[in-house]
C-alpha cells in the first residue's frame, strides 16, 4: 500500500532521535507498557489516520508532508481561502497561480467542476474559521493517497467533524483530475522538502530539550507516534493538532520569512501531551480521589472536557506547569566566565545569576498565576513539584506517582475555591476524536451533574430492556438513595451485588448498603441493641474485603466501622418528611464518581 511521501528530513529527524535514545537510561519497552495502559483507559478511535506509519524499531517522532492534505488545502485556496496569504511561504502563491492557469486553459466542464467544488465548500462553511478549517484537516488525515482519495476507514470511524464534509471527495477527485493536481504536487515537492529542512533542526531541538527537561527518553516506534505534517498552503498563524487514540498529529504551515518558522510552542504543547498523557492515564485508577477538584472549577472558563474528565484536567495542569518552568522569561541567562582572572569576576557573575534567577522566577510565577485564574488551579502545585524534581535530578516518570498519590486533595480544593477566575480562559487547539456519551454512560454524567430525575429515567429505561444489567441496577439504587426511597434502593443495590464483577462497584455498593442500615436504626436505642448497625458493620467489612485498592473506598469503609453513618445536618423544621435521604454523604459524594461496571 502506498503512503504519503516521506522526506529525507523526516529520516534525518528519525536518526537524530534514535541517536539520543541510544544513550537514554530507559528503554522503549517501558513506554510500550504505558501506551498499552493509555489505550485501555481512554477512548480510542478504531481506525488510524492514513499517514505514513513507521516500521517497528523506527522513530516514533517524524516530520512529513502529505499529498491528500495538499489536495484538500489546494481546493480550499482555489475557493477563497486566503488566510495569511501574504505571510505564507512563496510556494503557496506559486501553486495558486498554477491552478488558476490550469483552469484558464481547461475545458468549460473543468470550470463547472471547480464551481461545484467551491459551492460545496461555501455551503458547508462554519462561522468559526478555525473549526471550518479543522473539519477538512480531519478528513485529509483519513484519506488514501491519490488517485483513490477516498476514506481509509468506515464513515462511523472517521472523526465526527470530518463526516460533515466527507461528500466533498467526489468533487475533489474530479477537480484534481481536471487540472492535473498530482503534477503540480510533484513539480513543487522540492520546495516542500526545502521547507521541511528548515523546520527539521528547530523541531529536533525542541523535542530533545523537552525530553531532557523531563528526563525521559525519545523512544523508538512502539505503537504510539508523534507526527508533524507540514503544509504551506494553509495559514501560518493556524496550528491544527489532533489526538486519535495513540496518534498525536500536528498540522502546521511555515511562514514566508527566510527561516520558514512555525509555531514551535504549539508543537511542543502537543508533544507534552504525547509524553505526559501515558504517565497520567496509567494511573487512571488513582484519579477518583482527585474528583473533588472538578467541583471547584465548574465556574472556570474551561472547556467541558476538563470539567468532566479528571485525567485530562490533571494532564493539562501538569503541562501548564512544565511550560511555565521552561518558558522564555525575556532575558538571557548570564554566562559563566570562561576565565576567572580575579575573584571579583566570579562574585559579579554570581550576583548577576542570582538577580536573573529572581527576575525569571517572578515572570514564571506571574504566568502560573494567570494559568490558575484561567482555571488551571493545580498549575502552582505542579510547578512547585517540578521545581523539587529539578533539584532532585529525578525524571517525571519517577516523580509523577508521588505528585498524584501524595496530593492533599482537600487543601488543593480549598485553594482552588479561593481563585477568582477570569471571564475567558486559554483555548487548547489540541482536539481529540471525541467520545459521544450514550446510554448509561450519559446517565452517569447526569447523576454526577445533579440531574437525578434524568438519570433515574434513563436507569428505568435500561432496566425495562434488561432487568439484570448491573450498571442500571447500581445507577437506579443510587438515584433512589438521593431521592429518598430507601426500600427501592435496597432492592436495586442488593441485586447489584449478585450481578456486578467490578471490584469498585461491588465495594461501594456494600458501603451504600451499610449507610442505609445505619440511617434506619433507632437512635434512641443503645448501639448494642441495633440489628441494623450489625448489618451495617457487616457491609463495611464486606467492602474492605473486596480490596478494590482505592484509598477513598478504604477510608469510607473504615469510617463506617468506627461510627454509624449520619445524614448531613439539616434544619428539623424543614426536613420532617420533605427532604430526601442522601446516604451518599456530601463529602464522599464530592470525592467519588460512580464507576461504570466492566
**Complete DSSP assignment for 283-312:** TGGGGGGGTHHHHTTTTSS--HHHHH-HHH
Q: How far, in Å, CA of 242 to CA of 232, rounded?
A: 18
Return the ∠ at Cα 190 (arms to 62 and 201), rounded to 5°: 40
Q: How far, in Å, CA of 189 to CA of 166, rounded?
A: 26
Q: What is the largest CA-CA distance in the chain?
A: 99
Q: How far, in Å, CA of 316 to CA of 313, rounded?
A: 5
pLDDT bracket for residue 261 (50, 70, 90)? very high
State the average pLDDT over residues 155-181.
94
User: In angstroms, what CA-CA distances link 433 with 42, 46, 139, 156, 397?
Assistant: 11, 10, 12, 12, 26
Predicted TM-score (pTM) above 0.85: no
Would you say 403 and 283 are in contact if contact means Cβ atoms under 8 Å apart? no
pLDDT bracket for residue 570 (50, 70, 90)? very low
Task: Name the DSSP class of 558.
Answer: H
pLDDT bracket for residue 548 (50, 70, 90)? low
Bridge partners, 240 (sequence order):
251
Task: Name the DSSP class of 527.
Answer: G
Check pLDDT > 60 for residue 555: yes
Segment 104-153, tens digit of pLDDT: 999 999 999 999 999 999 999 999 888 899 999 999 999 999 999 999 98
CATH superfamily of 439-590: Tetratricopeptide repeat domain (1.25.40.10)
Would you say 592 and 288 are in contact if contact means Cβ atoms under 8 Å apart? yes
Segment 459-477, tens digit of pLDDT: 899 999 999 999 899 999 9
Task: Name the DSSP class of 129.
Answer: H
pLDDT bracket for residue 451 (50, 70, 90)? confident
Top pLDDT among 487 and 41 is at 487
Would you say 591 and 293 are in contact if contact means Cβ atoms under 8 Å apart? no
As given in the structure block, the three cell numbers for residue 509 are: 455498593
- The domain ranges of the chain are 67-189, 283-336+343-431, 439-590
Segment 333-382, tens digit of pLDDT: 998 888 777 778 788 888 999 999 999 999 999 999 999 999 999 999 99
Q: How far, in Å, CA of 583 to CA of 568, rounded?
A: 9
Q: CA torsion, points 188, 191, 196, 202, in degrees to nearest 10? A: -160
pLDDT bracket for residue 522 (50, 70, 90)? low
pLDDT bracket for residue 198 (50, 70, 90)? very high
Task: Name the DSSP class of 341.
Answer: -
Check pLDDT > 90 for residue 74: yes
Check pLDDT > 60 for residue 583: no
Q: How far, in Å, CA of 460 to CA of 489, rounded?
A: 13
Instruction: Tell me what pLDDT residue 221 has.
Output: 61
Maximum mean pLDDT: which of 28-42, 441-455, 496-510, 567-581: 496-510
Q: What proportion of the chain, given as a percentage, has pLDDT over 70?
A: 80
Check pLDDT > 70 for residue 28: no
Size of the chain, expressed as the number of residues it contains: 598
Q: How far, in Å, CA of 504 to CA of 513, rounded?
A: 14
Amino acid at each position: 500500500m502506498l503512503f504519503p511521501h516521506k522526506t529525507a528530513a523526516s529520516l534525518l529527524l528519525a536518526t537524530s532521535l534514535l541517536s539520543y535514545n541510544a544513550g537514554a537510561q530507559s528503554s522503549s519497552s517501558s513506554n510500550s507498557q504505558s501506551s498499552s495502559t493509555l489505550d485501555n483507559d481512554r477512548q480510542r478511535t478504531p481506525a488510524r489516520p492514513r499517514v505514513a506509519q513507521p516500521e517497528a524499531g523506527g522513530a516514533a517522532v517524524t516530520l512529513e508532508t502529505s499529498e491528500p492534505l495538499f489536495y484538500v488545502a489546494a481546493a480550499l485556496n482555489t475557493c477563497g481561502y486566503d488566510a495569511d496569504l501574504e505571510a505564507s511561504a512563496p510556494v503557496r502563491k506559486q501553486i495558486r497561480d498554477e491552478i488558476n492557469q490550469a483552469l484558464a486553459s481547461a475545458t468549460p466542464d473543468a470550470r463547472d467542476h471547480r464551481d461545484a467544488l467551491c459551492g460545496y465548500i461555501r455551503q458547508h462553511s462554519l462561522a468559526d474559521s478555525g473549526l471550518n478549517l479543522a473539519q477538512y484537516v480531519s478528513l485529509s488525515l483519513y484519506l488514501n493517497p491519490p488517485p483513490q482519495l477516498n476514506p481509509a476507514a468506515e464513515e462511523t470511524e472517521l472523526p465526527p467533524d470530518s463526516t460533515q464534509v466527507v461528500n466533498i471527495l467526489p468533487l475533489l477527485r474530479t477537480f484534481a483530475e481536471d487540472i492535473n493536481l498530482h503534477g503540480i504536487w510533484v513539480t513543487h515537492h522540492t520546495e516542500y522538502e526545502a521547507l521541511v529542512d528548515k523546520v527539521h533542526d528547530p523541531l529536533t531541538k525542541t523535542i530533545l530539550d523537552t525530553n531532557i527537561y523531563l528526563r525521559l527518553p525519545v523512544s523508538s516506534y512502539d505503537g504510539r507516534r508523534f507526527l508533524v505534517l507540514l503544509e504551506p498552503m494553509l495559514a501560518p498563524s493556524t496550528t491544527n493538532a489532533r489526538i486519535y487514540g495513540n496518534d498525536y498529529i500536528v498540522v502546521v504551515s511555515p511562514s514566508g520569512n527566510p527561516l520558514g518558522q512555525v509555531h514551535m510552542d504549539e508543537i511542543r504543547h502537543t508533544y507534552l501531551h504525547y509524553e505526559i498523557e501515558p504517565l497520567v492515564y496509567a494511573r487512571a485508577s488513582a484519579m477518583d480521589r482527585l474528583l473533588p477538584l472538578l467541583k471547584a472549577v465548574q465556574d472556570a472558563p474551561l472547556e467541558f472536557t476538563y470539567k468532566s474528565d479528571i485525567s485530562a484536567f490533571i494532564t493539562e495542569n501538569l503541562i501548564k506547569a512544565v511550560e511555565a518552568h521552561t518558558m522564555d522569561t525575556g532575558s538571557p541567562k548570564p554566562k559563566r566566565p570562561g576565565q576567572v582572572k580575579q575573584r571579583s569576576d566570579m562574585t559579579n557573575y554570581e550576583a548577576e545569576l542570582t538577580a536573573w534567577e529572581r527576575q525569571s522566577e517572578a515572570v514564571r510565577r506571574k504566568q502560573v498565576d494567570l494559568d490558575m485564574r484561567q482555571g488551571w488551579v493545580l498549575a502552582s502545585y505542579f510547578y512547585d513539584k517540578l521545581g523539587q524534581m529539578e533539584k532532585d535530578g529525578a525524571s517525571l516518570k519517577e516523580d509523577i506517582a508521588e505528585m498524584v498519590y501524595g496530593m492533599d486533595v482537600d487543601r488543593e480544593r480549598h485553594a482552588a475555591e479561593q481563585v477568582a477566575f477570569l471571564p475567558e480562559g486559554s483555548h487548547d487547539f489540541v482536539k481529540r476524536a471525541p467520545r459521544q456519551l450514550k446510554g448509561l454512560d450519559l446517565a452517569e454524567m447526569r447523576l454526577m451533574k445533579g440531574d437525578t430525575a434524568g438519570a433515574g429515567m434513563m436507569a428505568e429505561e435500561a432496566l425495562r430492556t434488561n432487568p439484570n444489567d448491573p450498571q442500571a441496577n447500581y445507577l437506579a439504587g443510587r438515584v433512589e438513595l438521593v431521592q429518598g426511597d430507601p426500600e427501592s434502593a435496597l432492592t436495586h443495590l442488593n441485586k447489584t451485588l449478585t450481578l456486578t464483577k467490578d471490584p469498585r462497584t461491588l465495594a461501594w455498593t456494600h458501603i451504600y448498603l451499610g449507610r442505609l442500615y445505619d440511617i434506619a436504626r433507632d437512635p434512641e436505642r443503645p448501639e448494642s441493641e441495633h440489628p441494623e448497625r450489625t448489618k451495617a458493620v457487616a457491609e463495611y467489612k464486606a467492602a474492605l474485603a473486596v480490596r478494590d485498592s482505592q484509598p477513598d473506598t478504604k477510608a469510607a469503609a473504615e469510617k463506617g466501622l468506627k461510627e454509624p453513618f449520619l445524614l448531613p445536618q439539616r434544619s428539623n423544621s424543614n426536613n420532617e418528611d420533605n427532604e430526601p435521604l442522601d446516604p451518599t454523604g456530601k463529602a464522599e459524594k464530592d470525592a467519588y464518581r460512580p464507576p461504570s461496571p466492566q
